[in-house]
Amino acid sequence: MHDATRAAARHAVGRPRSIWGGIARTLLVMVSVIAISSVSVAAYGVWHLTAKFKHNAVSLGDGKIPSIAALNGAFNVLLVGADNAPGQKHFGAKREGTLNDVNILIHVSADHDKATVVSLPRDLVIAHPQCTDPKTGAVYSAMSAQPLNTAFSRGGLGCVVGTVENLTGLNIPYAALFSFDGTVKMADAVGGVPICVNKAVDDTDSGLKLKKGVTVVKGRQALAYLRSRHGVGDGSDLSRIASQQAYMSSLMRKMTSAGTLADPTKLYGLASAAADSITLSESLANPDTMVQMALAVKSVGLDHMVFVQYPTAEDPNDTAKVIPSTALATALIDRVQKDQAIGLDKDALGLSTKLEKAKGDKAASSTKSPSPSGSATAKADPDVIAGLRGQTAAQQTCSIAKTD
């Protein structure tokens, strides 16, 4: 058992439950929706949506607004899901402060042919840089060995961006903050998202009830699937990332289907839901920038969009936390920095999901994980980084029901 598996197994004990899900990973889809909506709905509707994004935009603190020309090459976007976000209602007891519970780094290659989506665990213990709150001017000193999810409380979205930049060495000019009310709205707007489980699930903790096989989930049922810790996976927050990736991959396939792209009502509904539940950085809250980003993402094929979990190992000082798995994390980020393809080996799905042709799922994939290069044998693919956990957007997976 490798470090990441051991960490996941022990990480579940005594952890507070996040009610955030993988919807944060769909910003690029939402950007595309906004762009498409601009030619699919009335001009007033488009103006209303873009005006709302601009009004709610926040500064990342560096005062720099990238030129649109920057999107002609490689670019990075950070998606942040806030637990206990301002205005949150009906999603559990209110707690002191806001935490960046979901942290997703998206890298689009310079040729716009591939994308790497990296999920960074909320309990990843790392160094934090000095941060300044753009609203209050308060300055927070640099820290060592603190969980990633404390960054938002030290300076908002800009501090989360700075912390991830400090960890990865990447420049991240674009960012977005999500409230988890958007999970419900977006799942409803797209008409539901197909998900699969290998056994029937009845999780009283999250309220998730699913039959064996494929179910189209909407609204709060979608949220229950994404937040479930006792219904699917091994009970850990790390294993839940796999379920979130399965959901997001399915949503991507649904979003790129002809039925969705040709339906102006769905497109406008998605764009409206995004405008109500997403706060963009000032660098991103510009219609021209969003259109350019949408055009870049549109050319990325589903089999060239790879979702991976940032490599971790158990924190020796706290078994409820994790630290970077140095060698594997370095290999991953080095590939991203060099704009190289990321391949996954046959064991990348780990213990929490598996490929399986479920009843009623006509397009389910085979039991082998296709690599971004299309190689039939992962071992012969030079792009493969052995030990990474994740999947491509093209892969259709079933979550494994948790057994006590």
The CATH homologous superfamily of the domain defined by 3-340 = LCP protein (3.40.630.190)
Of residues 17 and 60, the one with the higher pLDDT is 60
- Kindly report which listed range (116-130, 318-332, 344-358) carries the lowest average pLDDT score: 344-358
Find out whether 90 and 185 touch, Cβ atoms under 8 Å.
Answer: no
**pLDDT for res 134:** 85
Q: Where are the beta strands (DSSP E) in 264-371?
A: 278-280, 305-309, 312-315, 318-324, 353-354
Q: Tokens standing for 205? A: 């903790």
For the segment 106-115, what is each residue's pLDDT rounded down to a tens digit?
Answer: 999 999 999 9
Confidence bin at 129 (pLDDT 50/70/90)? very high
pLDDT value at 14 more than 50: no
Q: What residues have CB less than 8 Å from 289, skipping those under 6 apart?
A: 68, 71, 174, 283
CA distances from 272 to 11, 269, 354 (A): 37, 5, 34
Confidence bin at 90 (pLDDT 50/70/90)? very low
First and final C-alpha spacing in the chain: 20
Q: How far apart are CA 1 and CA 7, in angstroms?
A: 10
Residue for token pair 């990633």: 148
Q: Tokens standing for 95? A: 């707690």
Q: How far apart are CA 372 and CA 391, in angstroms?
A: 10
DSSP letter at 268 equals: H
**pLDDT for res 23:** 43
**pLDDT for res 290:** 76
Which DSSP string do the residues of 43-103 spell out, in sequence order?
HHHHHHHHHHHHHH-B--SS-----GGGGGS-EEEEEEEEET-TT--SSS---SS-EEEEE
Pick from 83, 26, 389: nearest CA to 239:
389
**pLDDT for res 259:** 66
pLDDT value at 282 more than 50: yes
**pLDDT for res 194:** 92
Q: Where are the domains of the chain?
A: 3-340
**pLDDT for res 85:** 56
Average pLDDT, the chain: 77
For the segment 209-251, what is each residue's pLDDT rounded down to a tens digit?
Answer: 999 999 999 888 888 888 787 888 777 777 777 887 888 888 8
pLDDT value at 376 more than 60: no
> For 164-169, what is the mean pLDDT?
97
**pLDDT for res 189:** 78
For the segment 244-281, what is each residue's pLDDT rounded down to a tens digit?
Answer: 788 888 888 887 776 666 676 776 777 777 777 788 89
Q: How far apart are CA 238 and CA 243, in angstroms?
A: 10
**pLDDT for res 258:** 60
pLDDT value at 119 more than 80: yes
Of residues 114 and 26, the one with the higher pLDDT is 114
Of residues 168 and 224, the one with the higher pLDDT is 168
- Kindly report which listed range (91-100, 136-145, 155-164) carries the lowest average pLDDT score: 91-100
For the segment 179-208, what is each residue's pLDDT rounded down to a tens digit?
Answer: 767 667 777 877 889 999 888 999 888 888
Q: What residues have CB less than 8 Å from 145, skipping those under 6 apart?
A: 125, 126, 127, 317
Confidence bin at 4 (pLDDT 50/70/90)? very low
**pLDDT for res 191:** 84
